[in-house]
Structure formats: C-alpha cells, structure tokens
Copies of this chain bind each other. A is one copy, B any other.
Amino acid sequence: MIQDPAALLAVAVEEARAGLAEGGVPIGAALFGTDGRLLGRGRNRRVQDGDPSLHAETSAFRNAGRRPTYFDTIMVTTLSPCWYCSGLVRQFGIGQVIIGEATTFSGGHDWLAEHGVRITLLDDPECVGLMSDFIRDRPELWAEDIGVEIEAT
C-alpha cells in the first residue's frame, strides 16, 4: 500500500505544534509501518525534559519501542534530519523518510538517498513557517539544538 505523505506528515506537524506550545523546539516526527500503522510519535524534548538526546526523530523512534528490524518502516519528520537523526535512519535500516521541509535547515537526507533510503521531500508551508519563526525568535536555542556556535549579530 502506498501511503499519502501529506497525511503521515500531519501527525508530525501536530507534534511540532505541541512542542512550540510547550516552549520547545518545534520539530515533530512519527514512525509508521509501510502499512500505514503508527508505531511511535514524538517531538524534540530538549527544553521540556532538558534532554539533548531527544530530537524529534529519536523521540519517535524511542516511543516506538523495541523492534527486530526497521526495513518496513517510514520515518516522517517536519524538518530535514540532522546528521544524528540521519545516522539513526541509516543504522537501523529505516526504508523511507518523508520530510516536511529542507529550506530552513538541510541535514543528511541526500546522504541517506545515496545509501538507498527512499526520500520524499515536501515543501510544506506550515513546517517552513514553524521553523522560520522559531529560528528568528530563539536563535540561541536553535544553535544549541544543532550544536553550532551562534552567529554574531
């Protein structure tokens, strides 16, 4: 069964919005089976839990619990996965990644495509808006979340 990328993305966007409402980094993700079953969903929890290890994708992966393999899963995320989250996808053999946008930040999705992961890159206006506003309003938090030094203004 072919899943509708926009329908799957909607779950990740809900997570991103919830993160924003909590004062967190507004990035959401969800892990689905290729049959469309939701396995786990999550959002960046740096602010909420003081946990730098929980990006949206790792949070969704964690919430999906233990599985033998991930070849038959789809990771959906509101933003292009950083190297940390791209490494997760590659190591665990997640077969497909659906991405809300890669305009405000571009991580390792081309690298994943080179390694056989099926990439669907949308250009979702709400995802772009969430991140554009966040980067403008909280540049220091965004820099921390991706481990870069904040640019002098």
- What residues of chain A have their CB less than 8 Å away from a CB belonging to chain B? 46, 50-54, 58-59, 61-62, 64-70, 82-88, 90-93, 107-108, 143-144, 146-149
Contacts and interface: CB of A to CB of B under 8 A. Distances in A.
A122 to B, nearest CB: 22
A142 B87 CA distance: 18
A66 B144 contact: yes
B65 A50 contact: yes
Given A53-B54, A83-B88, 6 more contacts: A69-B148, A84-B88, A84-B92, A85-B87, A87-B87, A87-B88
A101 to B, nearest CB: 18
A34 to B, nearest CB: 16
26 contacts: A46-B66, A50-B65, A50-B66, A52-B65, A52-B67, A53-B53, A53-B54, A53-B58, A53-B61, A53-B88, A58-B58, A68-B143, A68-B149, A69-B144, A69-B148, A70-B147, A82-B87, A82-B91, A83-B87, A83-B88, A84-B90, A85-B87, A86-B87, A87-B87, A92-B147, A93-B147
Contacts of A107: 91
Nearest to A108: B87
For the complex of A and B, list the 9 residue pairs with the smallest distance between their C-beta atoms, beginning with the closest: A87-B87, A92-B147, A53-B62, A83-B91, A84-B91, A83-B87, A83-B90, A84-B87, A84-B88
